[in-house]
Chain A
Amino acid sequence: MRKKKKGKEVLLQGNEAIVEGAIRAGLKFFAGYPITPATEIAELLALKLPRIGGTFIQMEDEIASIAAVIGASLAGAKSMTATSGPGFSLMQENIGFAIMAEVPCVIVDCMRAGPSTGLPTSPSQGDVMQARWGTHGDHPIIVLCPSTVKECFSLTILAFNFSERFRIPVILLVDEIVAHMRENICLEDENIEIVNRVKPSVPPEWYIPYEDTPSGVPPMANFGDGYRYHVTGLTHDVKGFPTSRPEEVDPFIRRLFRKISQNFKELQLGESFETEDAEICIIAYGCVARSAKRACIEARQRGIRAGLLKLKTLWPFMRTEVEKVLQRARVVIVPEMNMGQISREVKRVNRGQSKVFTINKVDGTPITPEEILLKIKEVY
């Protein structure tokens, strides 16, 4: 077997790896507004984007930032913004616009403890449900969550890939610990294919911008490419024109869901650690998954068969993987830095197969391996 050539390792912060991932994915436009703990992303892109012919702009607020990002994407640039809870709240209306008008873009939310201004520099996982349901109306969404610096890089690329492929905003939900933590990473060794939006192959006069396709995703023409069409946040017909006719509204909303649901399998990014024979299984994500892994190792040293399912996709919820865990393990623990957001989902799909316990921490400090281990011993 030929040994894979190893590239140079660099010590990167989570936020820095997100920037590297975004540039690798083809980022050309960033608009943002400073906020801890996401600011490094903006600062680094202010430095790097002009070097590669891209554009960085600091807007007057987060509403304007996400609006500019959507505008730039409509003009053909891969676009991103980064923020934290307060700014993420401000972005919600326009995130809904991007879902409705099917405009690809990436939104990074470096979670801090809330509600409101909360604890600006303390970690939290409080925005899981906001990422799912923050914007009004019934809608699908994709939310990815890294727990290592390497995943900050790779999941950022995947976030762009998914957003381009499915024409949907993708949210990268990062907790303050992962955003600010430093780890070694070799960028050259990460070979992830880059996906670009499918452009129309028909001449402009045949182009139907919101036509259904087998994939549920219509090809996307960029503004200025010769395909003049209408984009609106109003419910629209296949041509993009506003409609309120039930026979046009219904298939449109259903298509928005279908384009995601029929690709469920591919969107389920998880990692199992010793789950095969686990009697007790932890389901965790973000920085908590790191503590959970440590706790599993220590539990096993004490003869307790513990395992971990790490969620890298938070939404759509990884139902199939979670169900497998619930069928196998006698006890499931869901530790989270909130009052129980993913654990609700786990309980929802449980149907009595397993006992589900939670660890909920909301004091702005991380969940430690010891705390998880203690819970393991308690419920074992």
Chain B
Amino acid sequence: MGEVTKLIHKYLRHDKKFPHVWCPGCGIGILLGSLIRAIDGCGFKKDEVVLVSGIGCTGRLPVYVDFNTLHTTHGRALAFATGIKLAKPQLKVIVVMGDGDAVAIGGNHFIHAARRNVDLKAVVVNNSVYGMTGGQYSPTTPYGAKTSTSPYFHIERPFKISELAIVSGASFVARSTVYHVKLLDELLKRAFLKKGFSVVEVISHCHTQYGKINRIGSAVDMLIWQREHAIPVDKAREMKEEELTDRFVIGVLQDRDFPTFEEEYEKVRKMAKKFTEI
């Protein structure tokens, strides 16, 4: 059996009603493969992995894989995950979200999860649009782009998700695209093995909505766009600010150590036990 077949057998849910919901060529499928390879590479047991998601095309990912899986409400996945992790810290809690999920409706939870540093792994699929609801603009839609709710042109400036995670206090932050799939495998694995709140931003494409309305072309054209606009972090360091406009940096953007919420709370428990009943 080939490596891919083995992984499919081991991790996909064969009693789930396939086919999946995604459009042919969507980047979320590439991420699913990468996620499975990374988890397998980390050597986690299936029983100890909890895969949590919000709502959106990205939110549909967990149902296909044989872990403890939780498909929550739009934007709230990190808050649900916080409860799971604190109630059972031995679990590996991985959260997949769309860009709207993570930084629009869930933006408040996102920055606070980063600040709080609960040991959660956040994987954000940034396709610059609301895929599931039909291509409306999201907080990461670029200025000037067309979407179904900015039919003339988009007038807001986009969030940079990774940079937002860094200033909010995340322990580990990295970015890849679904084109750079080897890098994506590696970054996910590093994030999963890192202690503390870790974010991997995955630049992806929604060719059926965003690609179509902006006349970028097919899924392949959008993958080529990713290849041409991504700058590896080492190379970016040697480049000038203005050379980086309209580009984005891929690789590990932040890697630092803070005590986790769980570790700090253990100290609280120890101290609390010293005090007698009041």
A residues whose Cβ falls under 8 Å from a Cβ of B: 28-29, 31, 47, 50-51, 53, 55, 57, 59-61, 63-65, 67-77, 79, 93-94, 97, 222-226, 228-234, 239, 241-243
Contact = CB atoms under 8 A, between A and B. Distances in A.
Given A67-B73, A68-B86, A231-B70, 4 more contacts: A68-B80, A68-B82, A231-B69, A241-B17
Interface stretch (B22-30, B42-50, B241-249): B42-50
A345 to B, nearest CB: 30
Interface string B60-93: 0011001111111100100111111111101100
A79 B72 CA distance: 17
Contacts of B62: 230
B149 to A, nearest CB: 22
Which of B62, B82, B271 has the most CB atoms of chain A within a 10 A radius of its CB? B82
A229 to B, nearest CB: 7
Secondary structure dominating the interface of B: helix
B109 A228 contact: no
B108 interface: yes
A71 B84 contact: yes
Nearest to B81: A71
A60 B108 contact: yes
Contacts of A65: 79
A60 B109 contact: yes
B87 A77 contact: yes
A228 B79 contact: no
B208 to A, nearest CB: 21
B197 to A, nearest CB: 14
B30 to A, nearest CB: 22
Contacts of B84: 71-72, 74-75, 223
23 contacts: A31-B83, A47-B272, A51-B269, A51-B272, A57-B82, A59-B79, A59-B82, A67-B82, A68-B86, A69-B83, A72-B83, A73-B87, A74-B83, A75-B84, A76-B87, A223-B70, A223-B84, A224-B47, A228-B68, A229-B68, A230-B63, A232-B71, A243-B17
Contact of B80 (A55, A67, A230): A67
B36 to A, nearest CB: 14
A93 B46 CA distance: 30
A47 B90 CA distance: 24
B265 interface: yes
B86 A55 contact: yes
Contacts of A228: 46-47, 66-69
